[in-house]
Amino acid sequence: MSLEELNSRYNIFTRLVNIKKRDKGRLSNLKFSIKDIIDIKGVPTTAGSRILNDYIPDTNAYVVEKILEEGGEIIGKTNTHEFAMGATNTSSIFGPAKNPYDIERISGGSSGGAAVSVALGLVDVGVGTDTGGSVRIPAALCGVIGFKPSIGLIPTDGIIPFSWSIDTVGFIVKDMQTLNRVLEVTLTDKTVLVSQIRRRPRVGLFLFGDDEVSRALKPVVDTLNNYFDIKEIHNEILEKYSGDIRRKIVLPEAYSYHRKWFKERKDDYFPDVRRLLENGSKILGYEYVDALRSRHVLIREYMKIFSDVDVLISPTTKVVAPKISEVIGNELTFREKLVSNTEIFNVTGAPSISIPVAQLNGLPVGLMVSGELYQDGTVLDIAKRILDIVGFISK
Protein backbone atom coordinates (compact mmCIF):
# COMPACT_ATOMS: atom_id res chain seq x y z
CA MET A 1 0.00 0.00 0.00
CA SER A 2 1.14 3.54 -0.67
CA LEU A 3 1.50 6.07 2.13
CA GLU A 4 -1.69 7.78 0.99
CA GLU A 5 -3.61 4.48 0.93
CA LEU A 6 -2.40 3.53 4.41
CA ASN A 7 -3.35 6.96 5.68
CA SER A 8 -6.84 6.59 4.25
CA ARG A 9 -7.23 3.17 5.87
CA TYR A 10 -5.84 3.99 9.34
CA ASN A 11 -6.45 7.78 9.75
CA ILE A 12 -2.84 8.29 10.77
CA PHE A 13 -1.92 11.74 9.48
CA THR A 14 -3.77 15.03 9.52
CA ARG A 15 -1.37 16.33 6.88
CA LEU A 16 1.48 14.82 4.88
CA VAL A 17 4.59 16.96 4.47
CA ASN A 18 8.22 16.55 3.45
CA ILE A 19 10.42 18.76 5.59
CA LYS A 20 14.16 18.41 5.96
CA LYS A 21 16.59 21.19 6.84
CA ARG A 22 19.94 19.43 6.33
CA ASP A 23 21.35 16.08 5.24
CA LYS A 24 23.90 15.60 8.00
CA GLY A 25 23.40 15.43 11.74
CA ARG A 26 22.86 13.07 14.65
CA LEU A 27 19.32 12.30 13.45
CA SER A 28 20.07 11.95 9.73
CA ASN A 29 18.35 8.99 8.05
CA LEU A 30 15.53 9.04 10.61
CA LYS A 31 11.94 9.83 9.63
CA PHE A 32 9.62 11.53 12.11
CA SER A 33 5.92 12.13 12.54
CA ILE A 34 4.75 15.05 14.69
CA LYS A 35 1.57 15.02 16.80
CA ASP A 36 -0.83 17.68 15.57
CA ILE A 37 -0.68 19.82 18.70
CA ILE A 38 3.03 20.50 18.05
CA ASP A 39 3.85 23.44 15.80
CA ILE A 40 5.70 23.15 12.51
CA LYS A 41 6.37 26.48 10.84
CA GLY A 42 3.99 27.08 7.93
CA VAL A 43 1.97 23.90 8.54
CA PRO A 44 -1.53 24.10 10.08
CA THR A 45 -1.90 22.89 13.66
CA THR A 46 -5.45 21.58 14.10
CA ALA A 47 -5.30 19.65 17.42
CA GLY A 48 -7.96 17.44 15.84
CA SER A 49 -10.50 20.18 16.54
CA ARG A 50 -13.01 22.41 14.76
CA ILE A 51 -11.77 25.24 16.95
CA LEU A 52 -8.41 25.62 15.17
CA ASN A 53 -9.55 25.81 11.58
CA ASP A 54 -7.16 28.55 10.51
CA TYR A 55 -4.10 28.40 12.78
CA ILE A 56 -0.78 28.29 10.92
CA PRO A 57 2.24 28.79 13.21
CA ASP A 58 5.14 30.98 12.11
CA THR A 59 7.78 29.18 14.21
CA ASN A 60 8.76 25.61 14.99
CA ALA A 61 8.21 24.05 18.38
CA TYR A 62 11.45 23.46 20.31
CA VAL A 63 11.41 19.72 19.69
CA VAL A 64 10.72 20.17 15.96
CA GLU A 65 13.60 22.63 15.60
CA LYS A 66 15.97 20.22 17.35
CA ILE A 67 14.96 17.38 15.04
CA LEU A 68 15.44 19.47 11.89
CA GLU A 69 18.74 20.94 13.07
CA GLU A 70 20.15 17.42 13.41
CA GLY A 71 19.09 16.14 10.00
CA GLY A 72 15.77 14.50 10.86
CA GLU A 73 13.08 14.32 8.18
CA ILE A 74 9.43 15.06 9.03
CA ILE A 75 6.85 13.36 6.83
CA GLY A 76 3.59 14.32 8.50
CA LYS A 77 1.49 15.59 11.38
CA THR A 78 -0.42 12.88 13.19
CA ASN A 79 -3.98 12.40 14.35
CA THR A 80 -4.72 13.18 18.00
CA HIS A 81 -7.66 13.13 20.35
CA GLU A 82 -9.04 16.67 20.35
CA PHE A 83 -6.54 18.97 22.07
CA ALA A 84 -4.80 15.83 23.43
CA MET A 85 -7.57 15.54 26.02
CA GLY A 86 -8.47 11.88 25.64
CA ALA A 87 -7.01 8.39 25.77
CA THR A 88 -8.94 6.85 22.87
CA ASN A 89 -8.22 9.08 19.85
CA THR A 90 -11.87 8.75 18.82
CA SER A 91 -12.73 12.46 19.20
CA SER A 92 -10.98 13.98 16.20
CA ILE A 93 -12.24 15.84 13.15
CA PHE A 94 -10.22 13.37 11.09
CA GLY A 95 -11.96 10.35 12.60
CA PRO A 96 -10.43 7.76 14.92
CA ALA A 97 -6.86 6.64 14.36
CA LYS A 98 -7.18 2.88 13.83
CA ASN A 99 -5.23 0.09 15.44
CA PRO A 100 -2.66 -1.61 13.17
CA TYR A 101 -3.66 -5.02 14.56
CA ASP A 102 -7.38 -4.55 13.90
CA ILE A 103 -8.88 -1.49 12.20
CA GLU A 104 -12.10 -1.94 14.17
CA ARG A 105 -10.19 -1.14 17.38
CA ILE A 106 -8.82 2.09 18.80
CA SER A 107 -5.18 3.11 18.58
CA GLY A 108 -5.28 4.59 22.06
CA GLY A 109 -4.45 8.21 22.64
CA SER A 110 -4.03 10.92 22.66
CA SER A 111 -0.91 10.35 20.50
CA GLY A 112 -2.71 7.65 18.50
CA GLY A 113 -1.60 8.62 15.02
CA ALA A 114 1.99 8.78 16.20
CA ALA A 115 1.85 5.19 17.49
CA VAL A 116 0.22 3.89 14.31
CA SER A 117 2.78 5.66 12.11
CA VAL A 118 5.57 3.84 13.95
CA ALA A 119 3.82 0.47 14.19
CA LEU A 120 3.26 0.41 10.41
CA GLY A 121 6.89 1.32 9.73
CA LEU A 122 6.08 4.64 8.07
CA VAL A 123 8.43 6.54 10.39
CA ASP A 124 11.22 5.72 12.82
CA VAL A 125 9.98 8.08 15.52
CA GLY A 126 6.57 9.40 16.47
CA VAL A 127 6.74 12.59 18.52
CA GLY A 128 3.88 12.96 20.99
CA THR A 129 2.95 14.39 24.36
CA ASP A 130 2.04 12.63 27.60
CA THR A 131 -0.08 14.27 30.33
CA GLY A 132 -1.87 11.18 31.64
CA GLY A 133 -0.43 8.41 29.50
CA SER A 134 -0.86 9.78 25.98
CA VAL A 135 2.40 8.32 24.65
CA ARG A 136 2.51 5.09 26.64
CA ILE A 137 -1.15 4.09 26.17
CA PRO A 138 -1.16 4.10 22.33
CA ALA A 139 2.30 2.51 22.33
CA ALA A 140 0.93 -0.33 24.46
CA LEU A 141 -2.22 -0.80 22.37
CA CYS A 142 -0.32 -0.67 19.07
CA GLY A 143 2.64 -2.88 20.08
CA VAL A 144 5.50 -0.37 20.06
CA ILE A 145 7.72 1.44 22.60
CA GLY A 146 6.54 4.70 24.18
CA PHE A 147 8.73 6.76 26.52
CA LYS A 148 7.82 9.70 28.74
CA PRO A 149 10.97 11.34 30.17
CA SER A 150 11.15 12.93 33.59
CA ILE A 151 9.19 16.17 33.63
CA GLY A 152 10.86 19.36 32.43
CA LEU A 153 13.68 17.83 30.41
CA ILE A 154 12.27 18.87 27.02
CA PRO A 155 10.81 22.37 26.65
CA THR A 156 7.17 22.45 25.58
CA ASP A 157 7.54 25.71 23.64
CA GLY A 158 5.34 25.64 20.54
CA ILE A 159 3.00 22.95 21.86
CA ILE A 160 -0.68 23.56 22.56
CA PRO A 161 -1.00 22.91 26.29
CA PHE A 162 -3.29 20.52 28.07
CA SER A 163 -1.64 21.19 31.44
CA TRP A 164 1.29 23.57 31.85
CA SER A 165 2.27 21.81 35.08
CA ILE A 166 2.33 18.25 33.77
CA ASP A 167 2.64 18.16 29.94
CA THR A 168 5.69 16.21 28.78
CA VAL A 169 7.08 15.56 25.29
CA GLY A 170 7.51 11.84 24.59
CA PHE A 171 8.63 9.54 21.81
CA ILE A 172 7.30 6.38 20.19
CA VAL A 173 9.77 4.02 18.50
CA LYS A 174 10.40 0.37 17.65
CA ASP A 175 13.90 0.07 19.11
CA MET A 176 15.83 1.44 22.06
CA GLN A 177 18.83 2.53 20.01
CA THR A 178 16.70 4.96 17.99
CA LEU A 179 15.13 6.28 21.18
CA ASN A 180 18.54 6.98 22.69
CA ARG A 181 19.62 8.85 19.54
CA VAL A 182 16.61 11.13 19.82
CA LEU A 183 17.05 11.73 23.55
CA GLU A 184 20.70 12.71 23.09
CA VAL A 185 19.48 15.52 20.84
CA THR A 186 16.31 16.67 22.57
CA LEU A 187 16.97 16.46 26.32
CA THR A 188 18.28 19.65 27.90
CA ASP A 189 20.13 17.64 30.58
CA LYS A 190 21.94 14.56 29.28
CA THR A 191 23.21 13.51 32.72
CA VAL A 192 19.83 11.87 33.41
CA LEU A 193 20.73 9.24 30.82
CA VAL A 194 23.56 7.88 32.97
CA SER A 195 22.67 4.47 34.38
CA GLN A 196 24.37 2.97 37.40
CA ILE A 197 22.46 -0.16 38.26
CA ARG A 198 23.59 -3.37 39.92
CA ARG A 199 24.19 -6.57 38.04
CA ARG A 200 20.94 -8.01 39.40
CA PRO A 201 18.53 -5.06 39.62
CA ARG A 202 15.81 -4.75 42.25
CA VAL A 203 12.41 -4.52 40.61
CA GLY A 204 9.10 -3.60 42.25
CA LEU A 205 5.90 -5.26 41.04
CA PHE A 206 3.39 -2.38 41.13
CA LEU A 207 -0.29 -2.03 40.12
CA PHE A 208 -0.73 -5.68 39.18
CA GLY A 209 -4.23 -6.97 39.87
CA ASP A 210 -6.93 -9.30 38.58
CA ASP A 211 -7.34 -7.51 35.25
CA GLU A 212 -6.77 -9.33 31.96
CA VAL A 213 -3.51 -7.56 31.17
CA SER A 214 -1.99 -8.35 34.56
CA ARG A 215 -2.80 -12.02 33.97
CA ALA A 216 -1.32 -11.91 30.47
CA LEU A 217 1.91 -10.46 31.88
CA LYS A 218 2.34 -13.12 34.59
CA PRO A 219 4.49 -15.43 32.40
CA VAL A 220 6.74 -12.45 31.61
CA VAL A 221 7.14 -11.67 35.32
CA ASP A 222 7.89 -15.34 36.02
CA THR A 223 10.69 -15.22 33.43
CA LEU A 224 12.09 -11.97 34.82
CA ASN A 225 12.32 -13.57 38.28
CA ASN A 226 15.35 -15.44 36.95
CA TYR A 227 17.19 -12.18 36.24
CA PHE A 228 15.93 -9.60 38.73
CA ASP A 229 15.17 -9.48 42.44
CA ILE A 230 11.42 -8.85 42.32
CA LYS A 231 9.19 -7.82 45.20
CA GLU A 232 5.61 -6.58 45.36
CA ILE A 233 5.13 -2.87 46.07
CA HIS A 234 1.97 -1.27 47.39
CA ASN A 235 1.43 2.37 48.23
CA GLU A 236 -2.11 3.24 49.26
CA ILE A 237 -1.55 7.00 49.02
CA LEU A 238 -0.30 6.87 45.43
CA GLU A 239 -2.91 4.38 44.31
CA LYS A 240 -5.83 6.12 45.99
CA TYR A 241 -5.13 9.80 45.42
CA SER A 242 -2.98 10.25 42.28
CA GLY A 243 -5.89 10.30 39.84
CA ASP A 244 -7.97 12.83 41.74
CA ILE A 245 -5.01 15.14 42.36
CA ARG A 246 -3.91 15.00 38.73
CA ARG A 247 -7.41 15.86 37.52
CA LYS A 248 -7.69 18.81 39.90
CA ILE A 249 -4.48 20.18 38.37
CA VAL A 250 -4.87 19.45 34.67
CA LEU A 251 -8.55 20.24 34.16
CA PRO A 252 -8.57 23.82 35.52
CA GLU A 253 -5.33 24.48 33.63
CA ALA A 254 -6.98 23.19 30.45
CA TYR A 255 -10.04 25.37 31.06
CA SER A 256 -7.82 28.39 31.67
CA TYR A 257 -6.31 27.95 28.21
CA HIS A 258 -9.64 27.26 26.49
CA ARG A 259 -12.01 29.56 28.38
CA LYS A 260 -12.41 32.22 25.65
CA TRP A 261 -13.14 29.64 22.95
CA PHE A 262 -15.29 27.66 25.37
CA LYS A 263 -17.52 30.63 26.10
CA GLU A 264 -17.90 31.49 22.42
CA ARG A 265 -17.83 28.05 20.73
CA LYS A 266 -18.69 25.51 23.40
CA ASP A 267 -20.70 23.30 21.03
CA ASP A 268 -17.78 23.00 18.59
CA TYR A 269 -15.90 20.76 21.04
CA PHE A 270 -16.43 17.00 21.02
CA PRO A 271 -18.81 15.96 23.84
CA ASP A 272 -16.20 14.22 26.00
CA VAL A 273 -13.73 17.10 25.73
CA ARG A 274 -16.53 19.58 26.41
CA ARG A 275 -17.43 17.64 29.58
CA LEU A 276 -13.81 17.70 30.77
CA LEU A 277 -13.57 21.46 30.23
CA GLU A 278 -16.87 21.97 32.05
CA ASN A 279 -15.49 19.95 34.95
CA GLY A 280 -12.33 22.07 34.90
CA SER A 281 -14.38 25.26 35.10
CA LYS A 282 -16.03 24.03 38.32
CA ILE A 283 -12.85 23.28 40.24
CA LEU A 284 -12.39 26.08 42.75
CA GLY A 285 -9.18 28.01 43.26
CA TYR A 286 -8.48 26.54 46.69
CA GLU A 287 -9.04 23.00 45.33
CA TYR A 288 -6.47 23.65 42.61
CA VAL A 289 -3.94 25.05 45.10
CA ASP A 290 -4.56 22.15 47.49
CA ALA A 291 -3.94 19.73 44.62
CA LEU A 292 -0.64 21.41 43.76
CA ARG A 293 0.43 21.11 47.40
CA SER A 294 -0.76 17.50 47.61
CA ARG A 295 1.26 16.70 44.52
CA HIS A 296 4.43 17.30 46.55
CA VAL A 297 3.21 14.73 49.08
CA LEU A 298 2.69 12.21 46.29
CA ILE A 299 6.17 12.86 44.93
CA ARG A 300 7.71 12.30 48.38
CA GLU A 301 5.76 9.04 48.75
CA TYR A 302 6.88 7.96 45.31
CA MET A 303 10.54 8.69 45.95
CA LYS A 304 10.51 6.64 49.18
CA ILE A 305 9.83 3.51 47.13
CA PHE A 306 13.28 3.66 45.56
CA SER A 307 15.10 2.96 48.79
CA ASP A 308 14.00 -0.65 48.21
CA VAL A 309 13.91 -1.01 44.40
CA ASP A 310 15.62 0.39 41.30
CA VAL A 311 12.50 0.52 39.10
CA LEU A 312 8.83 -0.39 39.13
CA ILE A 313 7.12 -2.58 36.53
CA SER A 314 3.38 -2.37 35.91
CA PRO A 315 0.81 -3.18 33.24
CA THR A 316 0.63 -0.09 31.04
CA THR A 317 -3.13 -0.48 30.74
CA LYS A 318 -5.67 -2.82 32.33
CA VAL A 319 -7.30 -3.65 28.99
CA VAL A 320 -6.24 -4.34 25.42
CA ALA A 321 -7.52 -2.09 22.64
CA PRO A 322 -11.35 -1.99 22.72
CA LYS A 323 -13.47 -1.71 19.60
CA ILE A 324 -14.13 1.77 18.25
CA SER A 325 -17.86 1.06 18.23
CA GLU A 326 -17.75 0.34 21.98
CA VAL A 327 -15.81 3.51 22.74
CA ILE A 328 -17.68 6.18 20.77
CA GLY A 329 -20.12 7.85 23.13
CA ASN A 330 -18.35 6.26 26.11
CA GLU A 331 -14.98 7.99 25.82
CA LEU A 332 -14.80 9.13 29.43
CA THR A 333 -15.53 5.64 30.77
CA PHE A 334 -12.74 4.14 28.67
CA ARG A 335 -10.48 7.08 29.48
CA GLU A 336 -10.57 6.12 33.16
CA LYS A 337 -9.82 2.49 32.36
CA LEU A 338 -6.88 3.42 30.17
CA VAL A 339 -5.16 6.09 32.30
CA SER A 340 -5.56 4.49 35.74
CA ASN A 341 -2.04 3.00 35.74
CA THR A 342 -0.17 5.55 33.65
CA GLU A 343 -1.34 8.76 35.33
CA ILE A 344 0.53 8.08 38.59
CA PHE A 345 3.80 8.66 36.75
CA ASN A 346 2.53 11.94 35.30
CA VAL A 347 1.49 13.52 38.57
CA THR A 348 4.84 12.45 40.09
CA GLY A 349 6.79 13.59 36.99
CA ALA A 350 8.65 10.27 36.81
CA PRO A 351 10.32 8.68 33.77
CA SER A 352 8.17 5.87 32.40
CA ILE A 353 8.30 3.63 29.34
CA SER A 354 5.90 1.10 27.84
CA ILE A 355 7.43 -1.88 26.04
CA PRO A 356 5.59 -4.59 24.04
CA VAL A 357 6.30 -7.93 25.71
CA ALA A 358 3.13 -10.02 25.31
CA GLN A 359 -0.14 -10.46 23.47
CA LEU A 360 -3.67 -11.27 24.56
CA ASN A 361 -6.09 -12.70 22.01
CA GLY A 362 -3.78 -11.49 19.25
CA LEU A 363 -3.62 -7.92 20.58
CA PRO A 364 -0.50 -6.30 22.06
CA VAL A 365 0.10 -5.85 25.77
CA GLY A 366 2.49 -3.27 27.22
CA LEU A 367 4.69 -3.57 30.29
CA MET A 368 5.53 -0.23 31.88
CA VAL A 369 8.92 0.39 33.48
CA SER A 370 9.06 3.48 35.69
CA GLY A 371 11.75 4.96 37.88
CA GLU A 372 12.98 7.62 40.22
CA LEU A 373 12.78 11.20 38.99
CA TYR A 374 15.69 12.13 36.74
CA GLN A 375 17.00 8.55 36.69
CA ASP A 376 15.84 8.13 33.11
CA GLY A 377 18.94 6.17 32.15
CA THR A 378 18.16 3.48 34.70
CA VAL A 379 14.62 3.10 33.35
CA LEU A 380 15.89 2.85 29.77
CA ASP A 381 18.63 0.39 30.72
CA ILE A 382 16.29 -1.99 32.53
CA ALA A 383 13.65 -1.71 29.78
CA LYS A 384 16.30 -2.75 27.27
CA ARG A 385 17.34 -5.66 29.48
CA ILE A 386 13.74 -6.84 29.69
CA LEU A 387 13.35 -6.66 25.91
CA ASP A 388 16.61 -8.58 25.49
CA ILE A 389 15.29 -11.28 27.84
CA VAL A 390 11.70 -11.73 26.66
CA GLY A 391 11.91 -10.30 23.15
CA PHE A 392 10.08 -7.50 21.34
CA ILE A 393 6.56 -8.75 20.65
CA SER A 394 5.41 -7.03 17.46
CA LYS A 395 2.94 -7.50 14.64
Residues 112-140: what's their mean pLDDT?
98
pLDDT band, very low/low/confident/very high, at 394 (cuts 50, 70, 90): low
Q: What is the pLDDT of residues 54-113, one digit of tens each?
A: 899 999 999 999 999 999 999 999 999 999 999 999 999 999 999 999 999 999 999 999
Has residue 32 got a pLDDT over 90?
yes
| Averaged pLDDT for residues 28-38 | 98
The residues near 374 (Cβ < 8 Å, ≥ 6 apart) are 150, 153, 189, 192, 351
What pLDDT digit, counting tens, does each position of 288-327 carry?
999 999 999 999 999 999 999 999 999 999 999 999 999 9
Per-residue pLDDT reduced to its tens digit, 145-161:
999 999 999 999 999 99
- Asked if omega into 370 is within 30° of 0 (cis), the reply is no
Q: What is the pLDDT of residue 278?
A: 98
* Positions marked catalytic: 35, 110, 134
pLDDT greater than 80 at residue 365: yes
The pLDDT confidence band at residue 144, using thresholds 50, 70 and 90, is very high
Percent of the chain with pLDDT strictly greater than 90: 97
Asked whether the CA dihedral 77, 83, 87, 89 is positive or negative, the reply is: negative
Which domains, from first to last, does the chain contain? 3-191 (3.90.1300.10), 193-390 (3.90.1300.10)
Residue 395 reports pLDDT greater than 70 = no
pLDDT in tens, 237-287: 999 999 999 999 999 999 999 999 999 999 999 999 999 999 999 999 999
What values do phi and psi take at 205, rounded to 5?
Answer: -90, 110
